[in-house]
Chain A
Amino acid sequence: MLAPDPIFARTQMGISLGFHIVFAAVGIAMPLMMAIAETFYLKTKDRDWLILAKKWAKGTAVFFAVGAVSGTVLSFELGLLFPKFMQIAGPVVGNAFALEGFAFFTEAIFLGLYLYGWDKLKPVVHVICGYLVALSGVLSAVFVTTVNAWMNTPAGAEYDIRSQSFHSIKPWEVMTSPSAAAEVTHGTLAAYLAVAVAVAGIHAWALVKNKTATYHRKALLISLWLFIPCAIVQPFLGHYSGQVVAKTQPLKLAAMEWHLETQSHAPVKVLGLIEIPGLLSLLATGKTDSVVVGLNDFPKSDWPPRKVNIFFQIMVGIGSLLFAVALWFLYLLVRKKEIATPLALTTLIALSPTGLIALEAGWLVTELGRQPWVIFQLLRTSEAVTPMPGLIVPLILFTLVYLALAYVVLRILKTYVTDSLEGVQ
């Protein structure tokens, strides 16, 4: 009777998740960076590190709060928008969410202690709180990503199509589903990488405006040393993810590459123009003669949208670029060359948003690539959506609120950065 188009629910969920991911990434990476800065202060007594830690803490506080509230929205939206999915999958993935909830809880506690305990805690205790925020944050991300991995490669439970329910649930196997290792590592590293790049770019810009700003230089060093290993390792993790997808979700791989015909020696099409023969087979399985399944083997109603291919290329393109830039900066740092050259700084400024763009693009690949399924090949998104009519109303309202929040956060961030151009308190 009431059967609304899933597009509104999907769009609202997508916007909420896309918004939240940025703030969650900051909440994962920034605490680590600010704790490192404070550690350097405790070791060297150089006040620059303390100023940096405090400034990064302020930024973290703002992003964390918005991330926390948007995360609350998500935990409700799972049910508000896809109640059928939660009814079916809740008992399966609930434990992972519970662990994520606890990790997030401790993160909030230790962040409160960190932000407000500068004068109340012994320095050693204070900095440990910082590291605990970082640890809780990454654990939280790990647990929640295992849920997404399960949606792509449901394991550890038997599905009964007629009653649309799972039984014989084995929570450990649910959390260690076939794509869990790939998604968790690739996704978590993406968060660190995206934030490191963004922060490096911001401090590079500050350095361009004020060459003598010493704590911006120190900020740049920390961001670069986080950026470089992440950017170098990430393509390999991406490759591993691709191999997992080839094995477990061949339809998704076909969509990522927009590979139509099943064939061996399958080529990679770069930007739809250059064709590299055999490369897709090689990447997918390690052998050029392996067969890569094409989209035409599946009914069109099961095809993910074409956008998946575009987002995939954006992600890989940026990832490759960051890999190359990371190698360059590694060379500069190891050879003790000046990193604050106009070329280096301009590069970092230009690259600043790309990590987050790649993060969003990659997430879109894995989400859109799973469509039309919400639980891959078991439950369709359209079957799981709420019968509540008028979903366009909350969609528009939430979008407006998120836009307003994004604007205010960016405005506050900008004021902080421009205020700090002196390089002094």
Chain B
Amino acid sequence: MTLEIAVAAILLVSLILYLVLGGADFGAGILQIVVSEPKAQQKKELMRQAIAPIWEANHVWLILIVVILFTAFAPAFAFVSTLLHVPLTIMLFGVVIRGSAFVFRQYDPIRANTRRWDFLFQVSSVVTPFCLGLTLGAITAGKFPNQTPTHVSDFFLPWLTPFCFSVGVFTCLLCALLAAVYLTFESKDESISDYFRTLALRLLIALVIFGAAVLALGQMDFFFTLQGALVLTAATLFAFATAYALSRKKIFLARVVAPLMVASIVLGWGLEQLPFLVRPFFTVQNSAASEATLTWLLWALAVGSLFLLPSLYFLFRIFKKSPSDL
């Protein structure tokens, strides 16, 4: 395995971890919009409590992804930052408003502001993953006219497509599903647990339907190859496993197979993209930095992970060991 493939693999793993861990945070915000009576307030409070200790840490994966990109694959990063300036900027507004609204909701002494912070948190929880999906869709479809932009339309056409929008919705559904699955575990109250369980099942069905739409719109031949078919099968199997686990109330199993399903979906996408980082101009090979830089980066990532992973494990152990009494 060459250095650049190794770094690209780490990039993909980081994206998977971001979605599997941080995606649920977005999902919690999205679910707050749809959550219904009875006990709607309690459910929302459960969601807040579930993500409060971990959300800040969960979203650092995104920063790591950006850093790995501009260190190891700088030309691709520069290109994406230039051409996809608009969806990325909208996503950033989502990030800022979301984090601020969440912390203000928690710490603002004026209770009357609660609804405003909730509203901002919920809207931005939809906008952020949607724009992330738009961006990923754009680099997959690769409808960039030139490497150097010459017209204002160059900044809009690549992502204003049905395919990109479908990827955006798909990403939101993914996040919502993960949140619903995790939340099933979070409460000792069985009626609340059941509520999220059934919600998760419904979201899973929606996800599968939308996934098919994305594949159809994307016309991705990759999934007719052996590699592609295998990954698609794995994702489908995990989806069935999730459905089974949810319907049979096997909550621990659901918590394991749902993220595995997401991981296989993202892996499938990654393999489909290879060797491209950004279609049609940038591959892993042609945008890679020098061997020295890649080696140093791998070392930095290794050393960093040595501190990070045990700390992350400790965090989740302390807060996700058992459901709350809410």
B290 at the interface (CB under 8 A from A): yes
Q: Which residues of B, 96-111, contact A by the 8 Å Cβ criterion?
A: 96-100, 102-104, 106-110
Q: Is the CB of A401 within 8 A of B93?
A: yes
Bound together, the chains give a CA A94 to CA B301 distance in angstroms of 11
A2-B81 in contact (CB<8A): no
Instruction: Name A117's contact: one of B53, B99, B149 (CB within 8 Å).
Output: B53
Q: Say yes or no for A334: interface residue by CB 8 A criterion.
A: no
Whether the Cβ atoms of B78 and A83 lie closer than 8 Å is yes
Out of B85, B104, B297, which one reaches A412, CB within 8 Å?
A: B104
A-contacting 9-mer, from B33-41, B62-70, B221-229: B62-70
Interface-facing stretch out of A74-82, A213-221, A344-352: A74-82
B293 surroundings in chain A (CB, below 8 A): 91-92, 94-95, 169, 171
The reply to whether A86 and B81 form a contact with Cβ atoms under 8 Å apart is yes
CA distance A92 to B104 in the complex (A): 38
How many Å from the CB of A30 to the closest CB on chain B? 14
Does B213 belong to the interface (CB within 8 Å)? no
Q: Which residues of B contact A79 (CB under 8 A)?
A: 66, 70, 77-78, 80-82
Residue B285 lies at the interface, judged by CB distance under 8 Å to chain A: no
Number of residues from A at the complex interface, CB < 8 A: 69
- Closest-by-CB residue of A relative to B80 is A79
Stretch at the interface among A98-106, A185-193, A323-331: A98-106
CB distance from B108 to the nearest CB of A (A): 6
Chain-A contact segment, one of B199-207, B270-278, B313-321: B313-321
Size band of the interface chain B makes with A: 35 or more
A180 at the interface (CB under 8 A from B): no
For residue B284, CB closer than 8 A to chain A, the reply is: no
Of the 9-residue stretches B184-192, B251-259, B303-311, which lies at the interface with chain A? B303-311
B312 within 8 A of A: yes
**Which B residues are in CB contact (< 8 Å) with A65?**
56, 99-100, 102-103
Complex alpha-carbon distance, A139 and B312, angstroms: 18
Per-residue contact bits, chain B 41-57, to A (CB 8 Å; 1 contact, 0 not):
00000000000111011
Q: Does A342 contact B (CB under 8 A)?
A: no
Residues of chain B within 8 A of A120, CB atoms compared:
318-319
Interface residue ranges of A84-139 to B (CB < 8 Å): 84, 86-88, 90-92, 94-95, 97-99, 101-102, 104-106, 108-113, 115-117, 120-121
Contact A90 B81 (CB under 8 A): no
- A415 in the interface, Cβ–Cβ < 8 Å? yes
| B300–A98 touching, CB < 8 Å | yes
CB-based contact B81/A111 at 8 Å: no
Contacting residue for B290 out of A75, A77, A110, A169, CB 8 A: A169
Q: Which of A203-211, A256-264, A381-389 contacts B (4 or more CB under 8 A)?
A: A381-389
Instruction: Kindly list chain B residues whose C-beta atoms are within 8 Å of the C-beta of A101.
Output: 60, 63-64, 67, 304
Bound Cα distance A87, B56 (Å): 28
**Residue B198 lies at the interface, judged by CB distance under 8 Å to chain A:** no
Given contacts A83-B82, A87-B78, contact A109 B315 (CB under 8 A): yes
Tell me if B89 and A80 are in contact (CB < 8 A): yes
CB closest chain-B residue, reference A1: B150
Please give, as numbers and ranges, the residues of chain A lying within 8 Å of B82 by CB-CB distance. 79, 83, 386-388
The majority secondary structure among interface residues of chain A is helix
Inter-chain contacts of A408 with B (CB < 8 A): 100, 104, 108
When the two chains form the complex, which single residue of A77, A95, A167 contacts B296, counting CB atoms closer than 8 Å?
A95
Q: Is A71 an interface residue (CB 8 A)?
A: yes
Cα A419 to Cα B56 with chains together (Å): 27
Within 8 A of B (CB), among A43-89: 58, 61-62, 64-66, 68-73, 75-80, 83-84, 86-88
Chain B residues, Cβ within 8 Å of A76: 66, 81, 88, 92
Q: Complex: how many Å from CA A64 to CA B52?
A: 13
* Contact indicator A117/B311 (Cβ below 8 Å): no
* A397 CB–B CB distance under 8 Å: yes
CA distance A95 to B109 in the complex (A): 41
A405 at the interface (CB under 8 A from B): yes
Our pick among B63, B79, B305, B311 for the contact of A75 (Cβ within 8 Å) is B63
Q: Flag if A91 contacts B290 (CB, 8 Å).
A: yes
Whether, in the assembled complex, B247 has its beta carbon less than 8 Å from a beta carbon of chain A, the answer is: no
Q: Is A416 an interface residue (CB 8 A)?
A: yes
Report whether B78 and A104 are in contact in the complex, using a CB–CB cutoff of 8 Å: no
Indicate the member of A388, A398, A412 with the most B CB atoms within 10 Å. A388
Tell me, in angstroms, the Cα distance from A271 to B45 when the chains sit together: 57
16 contacts between A and B (CB under 8 A): A65-B99, A79-B66, A79-B82, A80-B89, A90-B78, A92-B293, A94-B67, A95-B300, A108-B56, A170-B292, A386-B82, A388-B85, A397-B93, A401-B93, A412-B107, A419-B109
Other A-B contacts than A86-B77, A97-B67, A115-B53, 12 sampled, CB-CB below 8 A, are A72-B59, A77-B92, A79-B70, A79-B80, A87-B75, A91-B72, A105-B311, A108-B60, A109-B314, A112-B52, A386-B82, A401-B96
Which residues in A have some Cβ–Cβ distance to B below 8 Å? 1-2, 58, 61-62, 64-66, 68-73, 75-80, 83-84, 86-88, 90-92, 94-95, 97-99, 101-102, 104-106, 108-113, 115-117, 120-121, 167-171, 386-390, 394, 397-398, 401, 405, 408, 412, 415-416, 419
* Top 7 A-B residue pairs of the complex, sorted by shortest distance between their CB atoms: A94-B71, A79-B81, A102-B304, A90-B74, A65-B103, A87-B78, A91-B289
